[in-house]
Chains A and B, each alone.
Chain A
Amino acid sequence: EVVMTQSPLSLPVTLGQPASISCTSSQGLVHSDGNTYLNWFQQRPGQSPRRLLYQVSKRDSEVPDRFSGSGSGTDFTLKISRVEAEDVGVYYCMQGTDWPPITFGQGTRLEI
């Protein structure tokens, strides 16, 4: 099973400032088809998860461009260039390269 480890687990931020969340996998996430199936999700308080990024860095539709993803191999990062109030919530990384099982990180709580 691929273990996904996020850090930090809690991230206090200031409005307008950047934020960064790290996600490390216990093994490389490059699939045999050449793609890396590493996704990022946002879960606002009281809401369902929403996918922000897929295959490391591809933004889903209507996701603001202040969200970006990077990384390769076992180390990945979600960056928010300038935090806004609506970004408060919990962020999860997820790997879909080596499954079953599909595995999620523990979640990082972003708070203002």
Chain B
Amino acid sequence: KAGVTQTPRYLIKTRGQQVTLSCSPISGHRSVSWYQQTPGQGLQFLFEYFSETQRNKGNFPGRFSGRQFSNSRSEMNVSTLELGDSALYLCASSYSIAATNEKLFFGSGTQLSVL
């Protein structure tokens, strides 16, 4: 069974640009969660999608958005990039909603650098 796939692995953008990151969950998993990881803040929850619906959202500005498709693949978008958006973006999938008694399966992440 293939694991969680995130693309691209690395990305370099400049301030003001926008970026789209992609996540393909494990086959059969319906929940996809996104996290931002930085050395200073650790892992910060962005949002979770379940069956194409955003289930919950963390404390991030509206520049951060996402969606989930009918095949459970998910994308997240960051518009008007800022230097502080430089981070490792991780997605994780699970069969049911993330906060239930289920473990999360993580992708390898997308390392975003904003110059």
Mutual binders A and B:
no
